[in-house]
């Protein structure tokens, strides 16, 4: 197999992706990142000249949901029925990334997979992005999660300081998630607690995290050579977690009008009224879910649907320790 071209623009040209397709993708990313229209050309130009970005994906104590979300970031290039013009650009960006290590989807196994990780740390120290999925057990010296004879705690403590940036993808990597909920027998924590003091940490919580936000974060770095602005307390990108779900929700007019679902399946539920009384946490949760949605739809980046539109209230999965603080999920906030 031949080496991939040096820049993303050359990679797209090789695959006959039009400039119109690149501009459309840049426009979509600018919308996700809440950037003004003049930034579209800046993003397009930056993407065209962007070099490959080495990525190490560490998967620890989790359900693989964030990997599943990542693999469904957009329609595949051969999805003839998608109805999307130039749908391959998102997939090609993900394909173009140098995903050097990911236990779940990589081809090498055993000693060969460990060699892939060791080589990346040796050759790309300070240059690669480390994506972390899953919580890190700390009880009994991390014995509850071991990969290749090495604990997750030991691995993250050795890899994270060498990365250009560390992305904690999903709620488990953010603060322990479900495994870290009380009584937390494994001592599960997020990346920030497992490796205190990381200056280059970016949190993308969610159960799972929306892959569109991961793509947008990487696009921002590839084009502007810096990471998006973060909340100073939670280290979450403001473009994705800077506003309340309630402010963007399509059911908000029903809330303002006092039209609430009283029981699952009642007339108000069927009519699409507000789910506040059914425990929806949209009023106290910051996320761009209503805008980016889930699963690729007919107009990227807006996905096909999201929980509230599908008739289920928001459970606040981007909030800190949401399993402990938001349950029982169906009680009014």
Q: What was the pLDDT predicted at 80?
A: 40
Using 50, 70 and 90 to split pLDDT, how confident is the model at 145? very high
Domain ranges of the chain: 8-240, 243-325
Confidence at residue 287, expressed as pLDDT on a 0 to 100 scale: 97
Contact predicate 248/76, CB 8 Å = no
Percent of the chain with pLDDT over 70: 90
Using pLDDT thresholds of 50, 70 and 90, give the confidence band for residue 296.
low
127: pLDDT strictly greater than 60: yes
Question: Which of 3.40.50.970, 3.40.50.700, 3.40.50.300, 3.40.50.620 is the CATH number of 8-240?
Answer: 3.40.50.700
Give the best-scoring range by mean pLDDT among 6-20, 101-115, 302-316. Answer: 302-316
Highest mean pLDDT, choosing among 61-70, 210-219, 235-244, 300-309: 235-244
Angle between helices 211-224 and 88-96 (to 10 degrees): 70
pLDDT in tens, 176-202: 999 999 999 999 999 999 999 999 999
Question: What is the model's pTM?
Answer: 0.90
pLDDT of 292 > 60? The answer is yes
Mean of the pLDDT values across residues 36-64? Answer: 91
For residues 313 and 329, is the Cβ–Cβ distance under 8 A? yes
- 243-325, superfamily in CATH? Cytochrome-c3 hydrogenase, C-terminal domain (4.10.480.10)
Return the pLDDT at 90: 62
For 29-83, give the DSSP string: HHHHTT--TTHHHHHHHHHHHPBP-EEEEEE-BS-SHHHHHHHTSS--TT-TTS-
The span from the CA of 314 to the CA of 212, in Å, is: 19
pLDDT at 111: 80
Q: Higher model confidence: residue 315 or residue 5?
A: 315
Q: Please, what sign has the CA dihedral across residues 25, 29, 30, 32?
A: positive
Average pLDDT of every residue of the chain: 88
pLDDT in tens, 66-116: 998 887 765 444 444 444 434 346 666 767 788 888 888 877 777 888 888
Partners of 296 in the β-ladder: 303
Q: Which helix (H) or strand (E) holds 247?
A: helix 245-248
CA distance 54 to 40: 25
What is the C-alpha separation between 254 and 104, in angstroms, rounded?
43
Question: Predicted confidence band at 21 (pLDDT cuts at 50, 70, 90)?
Answer: confident
> Which whole number is the average pLDDT over 162-176?
97
Which of 98-107, 201-210, 290-299, 316-325 is predicted least confidently?
A: 290-299
User: How far is residue 198's CA from residue 211's CA, in Å, rounded to a whole number?
Assistant: 23
Classify residue 210 by its DSSP letter. Answer: -
Q: Beta strand pairing status for 165-169 and 129-133? A: parallel
The tens digit of pLDDT for each residue in 249-288 reads 999 999 999 999 999 999 999 999 999 999 999 999 999 9
């Amino acid at each position: 197999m031949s080496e991939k071209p040096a820049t993303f623009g050359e990679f797209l040209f090789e695959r006959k992706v039009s400039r119109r397709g690149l501009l459309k993708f840049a426009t979509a990313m600018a919308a996700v990142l809440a950037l003004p229209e003049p930034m579209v050309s800046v993003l397009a130009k930056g993407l065209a000249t962007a070099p490959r970005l080495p990525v190490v994906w560490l998967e620890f104590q989790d359900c693989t949901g964030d990997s599943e979300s990542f693999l469904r970031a957009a329609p595949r290039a051969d999805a003839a029925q998608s109805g999307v013009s130039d749908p391959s650009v998102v997939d090609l960006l993900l394909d173009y990334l140098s995903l050097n290590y990911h236990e779940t989807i990589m081809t090498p196994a055993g000693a060969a997979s460990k060699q892939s990780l060791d080589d990346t740390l040796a050759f790309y120290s300070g240059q690669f992005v480390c994506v972390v999925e899953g919580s890190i057990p700390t009880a009994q010296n991390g014995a509850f999660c071991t990969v290749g004879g090495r604990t997750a705690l030991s691995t993250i403590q050795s890899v994270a300081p060498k990365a250009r940036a560390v992305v904690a993808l999903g709620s488990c990597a953010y603060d322990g998630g479900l495994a870290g909920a009380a009584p937390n027998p494994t001592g599960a924590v997020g990346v920030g607690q497992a490796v205190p003091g990381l200056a280059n940490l970016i949190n993308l919580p969610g159960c799972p995290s929306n892959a569109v936000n991961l793509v947008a974060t990487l696009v921002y770095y590839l084009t502007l050579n810096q990471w998006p602005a973060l909340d100073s307390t939670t280290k979450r990108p403001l473009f994705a977690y800077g506003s309340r779900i309630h402010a963007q929700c399509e059911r908000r007019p029903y809330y303002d009008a006092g039209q609430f679902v009283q029981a699952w399946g009642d007339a108000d539920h069927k009519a699409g009224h507000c789910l506040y009384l059914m425990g929806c946490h949209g009023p106290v949760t910051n996320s761009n879910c209503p805008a980016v949605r889930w699963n690729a739809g007919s107009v990227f980046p807006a996905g096909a649907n999201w929980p509230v539109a599908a008739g289920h209230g928001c459970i606040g999965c981007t909030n800190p320790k949401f399993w402990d603080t938001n349950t029982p999920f169906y009680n009014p906030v």
